[in-house]
Amino acid sequence: MPPRIDVVLFDLLTALLDSWTLWDAAAGGREPGRRWRMRYLELTYGAGGYVPYEELVCRSALDAGLDASVGDTLVQRWDELTPWPEVPAALEALRSDGYRLGVVTNCSELLGHRAVARLGMPVHLVTAERAGAYKPDARPYQLALDEMGVPAAHALFVAGSPSDIGGASAVGMPVVWHNRIGLGAPRTPVTELVSLDELVIRLRLGH
């Protein structure tokens, strides 16, 4: 029998929030927004030790052929981040079922708190800035486990991107992937979800 899950940890900006629409808006369209966002993911997931998040946002914009000012626009509009439609009810259902909830995000402290506020309920927050490293480095994931006082085997991680899958798995957590926007295939086999309603059902069924 697999270990009992006590804690559910989430990626924040893709697994819970539709940050992609905001990036597209800040960039002036879907194509430049997606080009920028993919470069941002390359920089953050390849950074390892923490460097200022806002710096990476602007640097990735320049690398994607955009003006660095779109990064400032993104930060100014950060409070427009919106949860995926089913997220508030799904989080409430998980909490009602007795799970403790947290997020592990590659945000700065300031932007992480602003983003979590968009969920409408308190969750434990670990940012790359506070952990001193960007995912998929082990430090952010491990800090969340340590602060919530749970062994890795008893915490389920809900990834938002393929890189998150390997990072969370490496510290011993079981992982599912909320692949809401249809990113590429992961390097390792993992259960793939298109909605967090599926997560609630799976946990209630013990899957």
Q: Where are the domains of the chain?
A: 7-18+81-205, 19-79
Q: Which CATH number fits domain 7-18+81-205: 3.40.50.2300, 2.60.40.1180, 3.30.360.10, 3.40.50.1000?
A: 3.40.50.1000
CA distance 8 to 126: 13
Query: pLDDT above 90 covers what percent of the chain?
Result: 83
pLDDT for position 186: 61
Pick the closest to residue 153 from 167, 171, 131 (CA basis): 171
pLDDT for position 182: 79
Q: What is the pLDDT of residues 65-119, one digit of tens each?
A: 999 899 999 999 999 999 999 999 999 999 999 999 999 999 999 999 999 999 9
pLDDT for position 112: 97
What residues in the chain have per-residue pLDDT under 50?
1
Pick the closest to residue 195 from 13, 5, 22, 15 (CA basis): 15
